A = this chain, B = another copy of it.
């Protein structure tokens, strides 16, 4: 174990610093055309006519494609196949793709796309999910406009409320959040003369993209090869959306036999791609005067936009996390993902949990206050520990470090709820958890492959099916592989993720890459290592049990020899030093109607403590300091874990305080650029104190669990609680803008 646990520099760091990384737009192919998308100007309507003939006469324009040109099925397959690749008879949201124009250059393509004449008869749109749900007349999805509904029923909440000494009931609202990845969506399709097609682009989920292409082109999976380019951020925004872009380039490329590239500009990206679901939460919680959480009743509605995309699984995670990391025996939670005539919403770091955790943690503080104990003490009395049972009925056997995160935050910060503080300054806590991996909601995809080749010169290459999206997966997996094979880290390299190199390994989402690809790599390395150990045993005359391999050296009893000698000996004997790894996630279960089951294979845990200052004159909130403690099982690379904590915290600060995206009365996203959609910059970053807690997960590689999403999830409620602590204003609708604080202070 020489490299795992070390703060090694991330693999692609030098490339990024030098600007050398090959992002999608850096690829230029001979004869490549450029695409632009023709989009709906209205939120709901019936397409009467698309006139494109005149466009074809424009300089440089090489083709215009509509649904009529699709050789396969007009569908972007995700969870439910309701979303067309190109609108046929109806449009259902502003910016919905209707056609694709390709031209010799990007400018010509975009100019031509704007000139396509669309004759669309307007229909009344539904823009509010609470109105859309069960709308009597307008049916956007099924008969009730509900993509998915779930429940958690545990104990008897109604009865339990009667025994509660304190009951808190509130409504909470959270807005869109835009991923604001540095690199906008980008994709290239390259058709080959043998009837295959290669897709290269910025993405999280190459296997989703492959499925989209086989669907729209009617091709076998063996004919479609999807390769991830360097990807400049994703955060969930490149889970399902790249499938759309891939289709937008693949169709013209296929039809014209030429490479086609498409890179959205920032505005197109912000208007037309998925965001975090806006949510409405009605939350009622009750506790005894002893500070025991007794009952929860909640209704959670998320606005899915025009098509189902990932809403069903976003809802699953929101539902499973709807009570927070607390013991509670009486629960009645109803959750809904609802269709509206707006841009489809989708995956975003936290995936349906930040919205409801904002409510949960706001409730906890209010309960504590009413009971008359500190938020810290109230949490201490209710948090989950080993041996406890979650709200879904899952018994927690191990790796439950929540209490330690809470204790560490208190200890490191030196904070005490009772300590005196400056005027306008407040502290706020949040304790949260995160179900690692796809869980019961994505069980069928919970398998992952890997491939390792150890060369005769002692260098190794591995391939996995998950992707590097800035989270540091390449580095972490290289560390795992190096240790498993006993190689120095510099001898290990990863190939770009490519669907032709590994079997379908599921998506890169749900903080699953370290866990799943790490385990798959271990599986492959064990096979290779067994060959090396056997050969080392022959060479050294020591039994395998006495042999260890580490950083390029073989230790056998008191002997030491270079691993390269063993590798060369294997090579001479023609022994295979390559292997495939495969891993299936442990079982998970969930009953949609009762919400009971082992929802996830393991949970990561976190406590955040925010110290804020509220300027009474302006209502402005400044986050002064943030302590963020996370039980990650094992930090394969502590520097990367801390980086995730810092990045997630900042994204959480944006969600809490400034990111205010809304749709206008026609259903159009109002904020189409960074001048109107404000995200935190380095200027806004407070001092962040990352704290790593390690309660190893036995099934995880070296004990690691998943981690990428959790840093964002508890930030907004910690800040909201701190704001209340600072100035007595309880804001129940994100973001916590100066206007809302000011209004609260002056009402």
A572 to B443, CA, bound (A): 9
Docked complex: A369-394 residues within 8 A CB-CB of B:
none
Cross-interface CB contact of A193 among B15, B447, B495, cutoff 8 Å:
B15
Cβ-based interface call for A418 (8 A): no
Is B20 a contact partner of A193 (Cβ separation < 8 A)? yes
Is A461 a contact partner of B500 (Cβ separation < 8 A)? yes
**Given contacts A214-B457, A455-B504, A504-B455, are A22 and B192 in contact (CB under 8 A)?**
yes
Is A15 a contact partner of B572 (Cβ separation < 8 A)? no
Is A574 a contact partner of B444 (Cβ separation < 8 A)? yes
A376 CB to nearest B CB, Å: 43
Of all chain B residues, the one with the shortest Cβ separation from A20 is: B193
Is B578 a contact partner of A449 (Cβ separation < 8 A)? yes
Number of identical monomers bound together in the oligomeric complex: 2
Is A491 a contact partner of B576 (Cβ separation < 8 A)? no
Is A493 a contact partner of B460 (Cβ separation < 8 A)? no
**Inter-chain pairs besides A20-B194, A444-B572, A576-B582, 15 sampled, C-beta below 8 Å:** A22-B192, A29-B30, A221-B456, A221-B457, A222-B461, A223-B459, A446-B574, A447-B574, A449-B576, A449-B578, A453-B503, A455-B503, A456-B504, A501-B501, A580-B580
Residue pairs across A and B with Cβ atoms less than 8 A apart, 23 shown, are: A28-B31, A30-B30, A220-B459, A221-B457, A221-B459, A222-B461, A222-B492, A222-B493, A223-B493, A444-B572, A444-B574, A447-B576, A449-B576, A451-B451, A453-B500, A453-B503, A455-B503, A456-B504, A461-B500, A501-B501, A503-B578, A574-B584, A576-B580
A116 to B31, CA, bound (A): 35
Cβ-based interface call for A577 (8 A): yes
Cβ-based interface call for A579 (8 A): yes
Chain A positions within 8 Å of B, measured between CB atoms, are 12, 15, 18, 20-22, 27-31, 192-194, 196, 214, 220-223, 444, 446-447, 449, 451, 453, 455-461, 491-493, 495, 500-504, 572, 574, 576-580, 582, 584
List residues of chain B with CB within 8 A of the CB of A31: 28
**Given contacts A455-B220, A491-B220, A580-B579, are A12 and B504 in contact (CB under 8 A)?**
no
List residues of chain B with CB within 8 A of the CB of A449: 576, 578
Of all chain B residues, the one with the shortest Cβ separation from A574 is: B447
A259 to B501, CA, bound (A): 24
List residues of chain B with CB within 8 A of the CB of A453: 500, 502-503
List residues of chain B with CB within 8 A of the CB of A12: 194
Cross-interface CB contact of A222 among B18, B28, B459, B504, cutoff 8 Å:
B459
Of all chain B residues, the one with the shortest Cβ separation from A443 is: B574
A18 to B193, CA, bound (A): 9
List residues of chain B with CB within 8 A of the CB of A446: 574
List residues of chain B with CB within 8 A of the CB of A458: 220
Is A576 a contact partner of B503 (Cβ separation < 8 A)? yes
Cross-interface CB contact of A500 among B30, B495, B503, B579, cutoff 8 Å:
B495
List residues of chain B with CB within 8 A of the CB of A579: 580
List residues of chain B with CB within 8 A of the CB of A194: 12, 15, 20
List residues of chain B with CB within 8 A of the CB of A461: 222, 500
A666 to B22, CA, bound (A): 50
A576 to B27, CA, bound (A): 33
A572 CB to nearest B CB, Å: 6
A223 to B457, CA, bound (A): 11
A346 to B20, CA, bound (A): 41
List residues of chain B with CB within 8 A of the CB of A455: 220-222, 503-504
Most buried by B among A196, A493, A502: A493
Of all chain B residues, the one with the shortest Cβ separation from A225 is: B495
A530 CB to nearest B CB, Å: 14
A580 to B579, CA, bound (A): 7
A254 to B579, CA, bound (A): 31
**Given contacts A446-B574, A491-B222, are A193 and B21 in contact (CB under 8 A)?**
yes
A472 CB to nearest B CB, Å: 16
A688 to B400, CA, bound (A): 78
A222 to B222, CA, bound (A): 26
A220 to B456, CA, bound (A): 10
Is B220 a contact partner of A503 (Cβ separation < 8 A)? no
Is A193 a contact partner of B22 (Cβ separation < 8 A)? yes
List residues of chain B with CB within 8 A of the CB of A491: 220, 222
List residues of chain B with CB within 8 A of the CB of A580: 576, 578-580
A105 CB to nearest B CB, Å: 14
List residues of chain B with CB within 8 A of the CB of A214: 457
A270 CB to nearest B CB, Å: 29
Of all chain B residues, the one with the shortest Cβ separation from A576 is: B582
A313 to B446, CA, bound (A): 51
A72 CB to nearest B CB, Å: 12
A580 to B502, CA, bound (A): 11
A183 CB to nearest B CB, Å: 16
Most buried by B among A223, A453, A457, A582: A453
A239 CB to nearest B CB, Å: 20
A491 to B18, CA, bound (A): 44
Is B503 a contact partner of A577 (Cβ separation < 8 A)? yes
Of all chain B residues, the one with the shortest Cβ separation from A524 is: B580
A456 to B447, CA, bound (A): 13
List residues of chain B with CB within 8 A of the CB of A15: 193-194
List residues of chain B with CB within 8 A of the CB of A460: 222
List residues of chain B with CB within 8 A of the CB of A503: 453, 455, 576-578
Lowest 3 CB-CB distances: which A-B pairs, in order? Answer: A20-B193, A28-B30, A220-B459
A589 CB to nearest B CB, Å: 15
A444 to B461, CA, bound (A): 22
List residues of chain B with CB within 8 A of the CB of A30: 27-30
Most buried by B among A15, A461, A579: A461
A407 CB to nearest B CB, Å: 39
A18 CB to nearest B CB, Å: 7
A504 to B22, CA, bound (A): 28
List residues of chain B with CB within 8 A of the CB of A457: 214, 220-221
A551 CB to nearest B CB, Å: 16
A503 CB to nearest B CB, Å: 4
List residues of chain B with CB within 8 A of the CB of A447: 574, 576
List residues of chain B with CB within 8 A of the CB of A576: 447, 449, 503, 580, 582
A453 to B223, CA, bound (A): 12
A221 to B456, CA, bound (A): 8
Of all chain B residues, the one with the shortest Cβ separation from A193 is: B20
A578 to B504, CA, bound (A): 10
